[in-house]
Amino acid sequence: MRRLIGSVRRLSPSAFVILVSLWCVVAAQALAQHPSLMAPPPASQPVVARYTYDITLPDTGKRIAVSALARLVAAPSVDTVVFDLDDAMQVRSVDFVCDDMWETARYVRGPGQVRVAIPNARTQASGYRALQTTCIRIAYEGEPTDGLIISTDAKGRWQAFGDNFPNRARHWLASMDHPSRKSAVTFRVIAPSDRTVMANGRLVEMSPMDGRRTLSVWREDRPIPTYGMVIAVGALTMFDLGRTACGFAEDHGCVPQAVWIAPEVRLTMPGAFARAGDIVAFFARTVGAYPYEKLGHVQSSTRYGGMENPAAIFYYDRGFRAKGGIDDGLIAHETAHQWFGDAVTEREWAHLWLSEGFATFLAALWTQHARGDSAYAAELARARGAVLASTSASSRAVIDSVETDPNRLLNENSYQKGGLVLAMLRQELGDSAFFAGLQRYYLAHRHGNALTDDLQRAVETSAGRPLGWFFDQWLRRPGWAELRTSWAVDRTTGLVTLLVDQEGRFGPYRLQLPIEVVSASGDRTRLTVTVEARRTQAIALPAWVKGPTAIGCDPSHILLAVCSAK
């Protein structure tokens, strides 16, 4: 590359004063308190089109060296561009580097941030070419305290795995670390040659360096959230699952799948991964084409049972070493995230249910497809039990804008209640309108971000009716419906009326309530009545209901309601 002579040395005195003044403003801003981890970058901050991370890994130990190049969509319109980067990473230099243009940049190291000063035409000498500020490179090194987990495996072999969720990418990747800021990513990793390197996207290069080390380049061309930008480095061997789900990729081709595992567990393959192709094909038929270049499944050291990194799902190590530790339910949950969470990502953390609730529901839908209606009902019944026993669900709304720590949103609200909301919506709309709405929502926001209102609009369009009441009562208030029923018989006509009182702390619900009528002969008949969102109401039962001896509510395995009969 052609290096430019530092423009600061060529500045006129007045321009120099302007630049120094700008530098002082940036330095003062850096002393401000670190913003909330829940908050997205200000809208004024530029959009990153692609990150390219050149990472040099050690043979032993934890010290890494990184050159992070952020290529922006357009030149910044602000005087400071802010990247998240943990204080454990020591910044060596910051430059503007576009093609053959190079220029040293001014920056300030704030708490957990790198703040890069953006010069403008007024700060440059007359006739001097403008700086190429659309490409910002930050070089740094250090021992990550989180995010990139460097350890040894069960056999004592050195390994490293990215484990970024929810906002831990900043511990090793200079980035705008928030789900609303998705971008493409390239990893260029230099690692010991006896270690396998795997990452998002597709492998585009593998070049020996000096006999001991190898450069591996993985390129993801779809925009993905920073929490899913990962590498896996270790004593891994690839078990090829082949070209699966043919016709269901975005290019109408096949979806290459493979499992990266420790050599000693290779003989256990494919195990539950034998169904990986069927799972992708089922979700593609249900939602839309598979969104990425490949799908990898990796034995890793993630803190979670599974982590849905785009095109590179990480599963916990012990699951591969115990019989039945990785089952098709876990694979289905993490694979469902490729559509919801990865391709369509919540714009704000408070809407995390758009990721976890969808994966929970779609995994249950896979169970219905693979094992039948009874297995589906049993899975949803377990989810319902978890919600009714949850203090989070009883005290906080699913869309939780009060919580300040995204980790605490990983609870029964986001997972089980979110999944049940979708199951209840399916029941409310019927399969045709429900799945049409799901597909509409996915296609409108694929490779982007969304909020709950976007989903509501999509299903309202497919259903042809307003559904604000449904989304409000199930997602924007805590708890569930609480009902008490009794019944009365008109002595003149013999008609039966069901009396319903809603006693919940958070208001009455509108719902379809299953009830069971017991006749004098002992016959039991089930029917469903419409309950309006009122504290008390009387509901006339069909004329054929005569002389009952008992009428009890019978909430289904889906309905989030508790009911008692007088």
Neighbour-count burial for 481-492, b at 16+ CB within 10 Å, e otherwise: bbbbbebeeeee
**Distance between CA 299 and CA 314 in Å, rounded?**
6
Cα 99 from Cα 30, distance rounded (Å): 30
Buried b (16+ CB within 10 A) or exposed e, 499-525: ebbbebebebbebebbbebeeeeeeee
Residue among 312, 81, 87 nearest 176 (CA): 81
Are both 236-329 and 481-565 of the same fold? no
What number of residues does the chain have? 566
The share of the chain scoring above pLDDT 70, in percent, equals 92
CA dist 508 and 484 (Å) reads 12
- The CATH classification number of 236-329 equals 3.30.2010.30
CA–CA dist 368, 361 (Å, integer): 11
CA distance 279 to 299: 19
Confidence of residue 18 (pLDDT cuts 50, 70, 90): very low
Average pLDDT value for residue range 456-475: 98
The predicted-structure confidence for 409-446, as pLDDT tens digits, reads as follows 999 999 999 999 999 999 999 999 999 999 999 999 99
**pLDDT tens, position by position, 244-294:** 999 999 999 999 999 999 999 999 999 999 999 999 999 999 999 999 999
Sign (positive/negative) of CA torsion 19, 24, 27, 28? negative
Residues 444-461: tens digit of each pLDDT: 999 999 999 999 999 999
CATH fold of the domain at 481-565: Immunoglobulin-like (2.60.40)
pLDDT at position 521 is 85
pLDDT tens by residue, 218-233: 999 999 999 999 999 9
Give the mean model confidence (pLDDT) for residues 321-341.
Answer: 95
Structure tokens at 206: 């593998």
Residue 375 is predicted with a pLDDT of: 97
- Over residues 130-139, mean pLDDT: 85
Q: What is the mean pLDDT of residues 503-511?
A: 90
Nearest in space to 382 (alpha carbons), one of 398, 401, 363: 363
Mean pLDDT along residues 16-39: 47
What phi and psi values does residue 469 have, to the nearest 5 degrees? -60, -40
Q: 376-416: per-residue pLDDT in tens?
A: 999 999 999 999 999 999 999 999 999 999 999 999 999 99
CB atoms within 10 A of CB 298: 25
Among 67, 74, 37, which residue's Cα sits nearest to residue 51?
Answer: 67
Tokens encoding 286: 């249900």
- Give the rounded distance of the alpha carbon of 545 from its chain centre: 49
Q: Which residues pair with 530 in a beta bridge?
A: 512
Identify the CATH homologous superfamily for domain 1-232. Answer: tricorn interacting facor f3 domain (2.60.40.1730)
**Least confident piece of the model among 32-36, 53-57, 331-335, 364-368:** 32-36
CA count, 13 A, side-chain hemisphere, 40: 18
> Domain extents for the chain?
1-232, 236-329, 344-475, 481-565
DSSP per residue over 143-161, as a string?
Answer: --SSSEEEEE-TTS-EEEE
Kindly indicate the confidence band of residue 25, based on its pLDDT and cuts at 50, 70 and 90: very low
Q: Which residue has the higher pLDDT, 136 or 305?
A: 136
Q: Which CATH class is domain 344-475?
A: mainly alpha
Q: Which of 162, 105, 163, 170 is nearest to 134 (CA)?
A: 105
110 Ramachandran zone, left/alpha/beta (phi>0; psi -120 to 50): beta
Q: Helix axis angle, 328-336 relative to 353-371, nearest 10°? A: 140
